[in-house]
């Protein structure tokens, strides 16, 4: 099958949703970027789009409080989910953010692909493992994307990827990508895979 020709440079902000009641109507597949706060979700969107400021990158974890939608070349919607696991805001607000994430996954919306992001240097949290278990059980297609790989040397990266695989033995068939939004390593591979998957939907 010919991979679909997706122009990632043609990515545009579409809309912001604070509630699953307001999710956009869509006829194109939905790709979700998920992962804990600070995992590098917004940075990855910028790297995929080859733009600096499409998605807001924050030095402080817990800044994105809504689901932010981007249109990918008219061929898919990309949803930047609020991160779970940390918020600079109050407990009450934190609970609301994770609720939004939770509600999103449970509202019955068709999700074509999840890019599940984890900072390659961190030990996966209970929520990370729980999230992957959920995706597995729910049969939602996903790719595991380890981010910030520029922070490790090649030797360290190899070792770390090996030890991380131990956390997700239930997902041993999953496709794993190691990327850096900073030096763009692995980004082209990821784009090809996304195009490929979109062409098969």
Cα(96)–Cα(70) distance, integer angstroms: 22
Residue 34 contact partner, candidates Mg ion, ligand GDP, none, CB within 5 to 8 A by sort of partner: none
CB-facing half-sphere around the CA of 111: CA atoms within 13 A: 25
SS3 108: coil
SS3 5: coil
Q: Cite the DSSP H helix spans in the chain.
A: 41-49, 91-106, 126-138, 154-165, 187-199
Q: Judged by CB under 5 A, which of 34, 38, 46, 64 binds Mg ion?
A: 64
Is residue 36 a contact residue for Mg ion (CB under 5 A)? Answer: no
Count of CB atoms situated within 10 Å of the CB of 3:
14
Residue 186 contact partner, candidates ligand GDP, Mg ion, none, CB within 5 to 8 A by sort of partner: none
Is residue 41 a contact residue for Mg ion (CB under 5 A)? Answer: yes
CB 80 → Mg ion: shortest distance, Å? Answer: 6
Query: Which residue, 33 or 197, has its beta carbon nearer to Mg ion?
Result: 33
Is residue 101 a contact residue for ligand GDP (CB under 6 A)? Answer: no
Is residue 180 a contact residue for Mg ion (CB under 5 A)? Answer: no
Q: Which residues form the interface with ligand GDP (CB under 6 A)?
A: 35, 37-43, 57-59, 61, 64, 83, 147-148, 150-151, 180-182
């Amino acid at each position: 099958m010919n991979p679909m020709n997706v122009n990632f440079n043609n990515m545009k902000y579409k809309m912001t949703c604070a509630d699953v009641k307001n999710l956009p109507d869509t006829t194109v597949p939905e790709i979700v970027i998920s992962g804990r706060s600070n995992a590098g979700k917004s940075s990855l969107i910028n790297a995929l789009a080859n733009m600096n400021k499409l998605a807001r990158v924050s030095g402080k974890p817990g800044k994105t409080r809504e689901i932010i939608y981007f249109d990918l070349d008219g061929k898919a919607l990309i949803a930047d989910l609020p991160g779970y696991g940390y918020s600079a805001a109050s407990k009450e607000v934190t609970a609301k953010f994770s609720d939004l994430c939770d509600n999103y996954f449970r509202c019955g919306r068709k999700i074509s692909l999840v890019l599940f992001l984890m900072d390659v240097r961190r030990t996966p949290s209970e929520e990370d493992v729980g999230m992957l278990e959920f995706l597995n059980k729910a049969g939602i297609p996903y790719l595991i994307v380890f981010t910030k790989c520029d922070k490790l040397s090649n030797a360290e990266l190899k070792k770390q990827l090996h030890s991380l695989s131990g956390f997700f033995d239930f997902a041993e068939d999953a496709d794993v990508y190691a990327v850096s939004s900073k030096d763009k390593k692995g980004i082209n591979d990821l784009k090809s895979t996304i195009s490929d998957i979109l062409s098969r939907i």
